[in-house]
Structure 1
Amino acid sequence: MELTIDENILEAYGFNKENINIQQIGSGLINGTYLLTNLSNGEHFVLQQLNTSVFTNPWAIANNIETVANFLKINSPDYIFPAPLHTTNREAMYLHEGKYWRLMPFVKSTVALDTLSTAKQAFEAAKQFGKLSRLLDNFNSSKLEPTIVGFHDLELRFEQFKTALSQASVTVKDQAAKEIETAFEFEPILTQYLQLGSNADFPNRVMHHDTKISNALLDKETFEGVCVIDLDTLMPGKFISDLGDMMRTYLCEFSENERDLSKINIRVDYFAAMIKGYLSEMGSILTSTEKGLILFSGKYMIYMQALRFLTDFLNGNIYYPTAYADQNLDRAKNQFKLLEELVKNEEQLQQLVDAELLDK
C-alpha cells in the first residue's frame, strides 16, 4: 500500500514527497520497513524506523555496522554489505520526534523469502551467512558493542525461566506442567554449554544472530545467494548462534506457530544442504572444538527458543505478540518437539556433518 512519511525524514536524505513513492514492505515484527522509489530515476531505497523498545541503544547498531562496513571496504571491497546511507548532514541515522530512521541501498534483482521451498535455498542462505563470518574472521569482534545484551545467553534464558516459574500462578504452572518438565529434562544442554567456559578454541566471532531465511537475499532468477540483510544484531557471539538459528528455522517445513505437532519433522536433505553451504565458507576457519559443536548448535538454539516461549507464557505473554491466550505455550510445545526430533535423528545428522568435514 502507498503511504506517506514525514517530509522532514525524506528531506534528511535529500528527497521530497513529490519525487518519492513509498510502500510498506517486509514481514519482520520488529522494525517498520518501507520501499522508497525515486520517481525521477526509478532508483530504490529501503527506509526503516528502528524499534527502540527492542533496541535501546540505536547508536550501538549504527556504530557496529559502520565499523564492519569500513573493514569490508578495505579487505573485501567487492562484497555487498548494505550498510545505511548517511543523511545530508553525514549522520548514520536521522532522529525525528524521538524516533530513529535510516536509509539503506536496495539490492537489485534479489528476493527475500519468507519460507524455504528447496534444499538449494537452504544451501545458498547458509553459504551467505557463513561468508560474512569468514570475511570477518580477522576482524577484532571486541570492537563491537552488544546491541541486545544477553540475546543468545542460554544461562540467562534459563534463569529467566526459573524466575518466571517461581512467580507463575498454580493454574498457569498446571497448564504448562509437561513443558516445564521437558525444560528441565533438557537442562544438560545448558550444562554442556557452561562447560565450554572461556575455552580459547571456542572464540567470539562477529555473528549475525538472526539467520532466518528472510535475512538472506537471493537472486530472484537463479536463487543463488547474494548477501545478508537486517544487521541490527551484528555483534560478538559464538558460531553456534548463527548455525543453530539456521537449524531452528530451516529444518522443519512449518514455523513455531504450527500447532499440529505431527507436522514437526526434520528435513534431512535441507540439513545436509545447509551444512554443506555453511562449511563451504567456514569449514577452513572453524576450530576443532567448534567443529565438534556443529550439531550441538541446533540443540542450543532450539532449546533456548523453547525456553523463551515458555517463559513468556509463564509471565503472562508480555514479550512475544500473540493471537490467542495459549499461543506462547503452543510455540514452546512446537520447539520442544523440534528439539526432540533433532535428538532422535542425531546419529544420521552427525554422519552427514562428519562426511562434510572430511572434505574440508
Structure 2
Amino acid sequence: MIMFDALEQYGLLQHILSVDRFGRGVVNRTYLAKSKNETYILQLINNNIFKKPENVIKNIESLVPYFKGKDDFLMTKNLLDSLTGTKHVKAEETYWRMYKIKPHMKIFKKIVADEMMEEIGKAVGRFQKVLLDFNPKLLVNTIANYHDAPKLYQQLYKVINRDYEKAVPLFNETKFLEFQEAQFTLIPHLLKTKQVPLRVTHNNFRLSNMLFDENTYEVLGVIGLDAIMPGTLITDFGDAARYFCSTSREDETQLEFVHFNLDYYRLFVRGFLKETKDFITAAEIDNLVNGVKVVTLEHIIRFLTAHLDPKSVYPKEYKHQHWDRAKNQIQLYHDIDAHVKEMNIIIQEERRKL
C-alpha cells in the first residue's frame, strides 16, 4: 500500500495505530494519523492537479528558512523530516508530507460554533500578515491560470466545441456565464495594472487545512500549501467567504437550501480585517466583495468544464456531480449578488469598529 510506504519513509509505519481521512479535498488529501502518544497530519499531493509536484515541494520548502525566528503560522517547523532528511517523500508516483501536531490542536469536519467564523477570518488575514515580507515572485505558479477567469472560460468553450451535443443540456448554465462575462477580466486587470499589490495566496482555505485550538477555536496554524502562488488577497478572501459562508455543501442538489449566510460573513469579515487593517489597501477593500463574486464564477466554469471534459482530473463520486456543483454555485452566486450592498456595508461597519 502506497501510504504504508510513505509512513515507512518517515520511520513511523510500526507506530501508527489509526489513520482517518478529513474532508473531500481536490487539491490534496488530508489524513489524521495517530500513534500511542502522538498525532500527525499526513497529506498527499494530488499529482493529477499538479503536473509538476516538484514545484509544489519547491514552493513549500522555500518558506522554511523564511519562518526561522518568525511567527510560524504555516507550521513549517512542524514538518517532519524523513529518514533521509527530506520534508517530502515519494511513494511510487505520489508525494507525501507529514506534520506533528500538539495535543490541543484539532481539525474540525464542520463548523460547530459561530465564533469559529471570526477565527477563520483571522486565519485568512493572518496568512497575509505573516507573509508580508516574503517575495511572491519567488514562488512558482503550480496551477496554470488558476484565477484567470477569461482563460478558464476559453478552456470551457474549447471543451464545448469538441462535443457540442454533450453540452446542449447545459444551455442554462452556459447562458448564465455569458451574462456574467464582463466580470471575468476583473482580477487579471487589477493585477496587470498594479491597482492591487502582488501577494502570496493560499488558494485552498478549507477546514481540513486549519488547525484549531479545540477549546477556544483559535486557528493555530494553516497547512495544505500545495496551491500557494503569487496572486491577490482578493481571491483568498473571496474563495474563503464563498466556501465558509455557504449554507450547503457544493454538491447539494436541493437548491432551496443554498444561501449565503450574512451572519457568518460578518464574523468572517471582522476577523479578516482585524489581521489586515494595517496593510490592506483601499483598492483591495473596494474589491473584496467583487472577489467573492468572481471566484464563485470561476468555480462554476471549472465545474462545467470538468463535467464536459472526459479527461478532467477533478475527482467525482457520481456521474453528474460536477454539473450539480455548477448549478449549486450558480444558485449561491444569485444569493451573493442579491446581497452585494449589504456585504459592502458590513465591510465598512466592521472597519469603523477597529
TM-score for the superposition, normalised by structure 2 = 0.91
- Paired AA for residue 103 in structure 1: M
Rate the CA distance shift 1:186–1:88 in 2: closer, same or farther, 3 A: same
Q: Which amino acid aligns with 1:43?
A: E
- Residue 153 (structure 1) aligned with residue 155 (structure 2): no
| 8 Å Cα contact 1:266/1:341 also seen in 2 | yes
Partner Cα distance (1:80, 1:94) in 2: 18
Distance 1:142 1:279 in 2: 25
Quote the offset at 1:197 in angstroms.
Answer: 4.6
Instruction: Check the 8 A contact 1:240/1:300 in 2, yes or no.
Output: no
Pairing partner for 2:235 from 241, 263, 267? 241
Match in the other structure for 2:298: 304
Larger Rg: 1
- 1:131 corresponds in structure 2 to 126
Q: Is the Cα contact below 8 Å between 2:18 and 2:35 reproduced in 1?
A: no
Cα distance in 1 for partners of 2:105, 2:127 equals 18
Instruction: Check conservation: 1:212, 1:245, Cα contact below 8 A.
Output: no
CA RMSD of aligned residues (A): 2.4
Q: Give the 3 Å change call, closer, same or farther, for CA 353–34 of structure 1 in structure 2.
A: closer
Identify which of 23, 26, 37 aligns with 1:27: 23
Query: What's the CA shift for 1:56?
Result: 2.4
The residue aligned with 2:11 is 14
Structure 1 residues 15, 242: CA separation in 2 closer, same or farther (over 3 Å shift)? same
Instruction: Choose from 159, 165, 174 the match for 2:160.
Output: 165
Shift of the alpha carbon at 1:226? Answer: 1.4
Q: Cα gap change, 1:343/1:191 in structure 2, threshold over 3 Å: closer, same or farther?
A: same
Separation of aligned partners in 2, 1:208 and 1:22: 29
Aligned pairs for 1:1-360 (under 5 A) are 5-6=3-4, 9-15=6-12, 17=14, 19-30=15-26, 31-39=28-36, 42-76=37-71, 80-81=75-76, 83-170=78-165, 172-316=166-310, 318-360=312-354
Take 2:72 and 2:258, find their aligned partners in 1: how far apart are those partners?
A: 42
Q: Per the alignment, do residues 325 and 4 of structure 1 end up closer, same or farther by CA in structure 2, a change over 3 Å counting?
A: closer
Distance 1:316 1:96 in 2: 27
CA distance in 1, matches of 2:73, 2:293: 35
Offset, 1:338: 0.8
**Structure 1 residue 116, shift from structure 2 partner:** 2.4
Q: Which amino acid aligns with 1:326?
A: H
Contact 1:82 1:229 in 2 (8 A): no
Cα distance, 1:334–1:300 mapped onto 2, change above 3 Å:
same
Mean CA deviation greater in 214-223 or 267-276: 214-223
Q: Tell me, which stretches of 5 or more residues in structure 1 are unaligned?
A: none
Aligned-partner residue type, residue 259 of structure 2: N
Of 121-130 and 60-69, deviating more is 60-69
Deviations 1:115-139 (A, max 9, x none): 3244311110121121021111111
1-side partners of 2:57 and 2:348: how far apart? 39
Q: Distance in 1 between matches of 2:109 and 2:34?
A: 23
Q: Which runs of 5+ in 2 are unaligned?
A: none
Name the SS of the counterpart of 1:20 in structure 2. Answer: coil
270-279 vs 309-318, greater mean Cα deviation: 309-318
Describe the SS at the equivalent of 2:99: strand
Give the TM-score, by structure 1 length: 0.89
Structure 2 Cα separation of the partners of residues 285 and 108 of structure 1: 34
For 1:155 and 1:114, locate their aligned partners in 2 and report how far apart those are by CA, in whole Å: 34
Contact 2:211 2:220 in 1 (8 A): yes
Paired with 1:241 and 1:223, the residues of 2 have a C-alpha distance of 24
1:20-62 residue CA offsets vs partner (Å, 9 max, x unmatched): 32423322344454444444xx122233333322222223222
Q: Distance in 2 between matches of 1:239 and 1:189?
A: 17
Question: Identical aligned pairs, as a percentage?
Answer: 25
Cα distance 1:5–1:334, how it changes in 2: closer, same or farther (>3 A)?
A: closer
In the TM superposition, residue 263 of structure 1 has moved relative to its aligned partner by 1.2
The answer on whether the counterparts of 1:317 and 1:328 sit within 8 Å (CA) in structure 2 is: no
CA contact 1:245–1:301 (8 Å) conserved in 2: yes
Letter in 1 for 2:111: L
Give, in whole Å, the separation in 1 of the partners of 2:102 and 2:260: 32
Change (3 A) 1:15 1:283: same
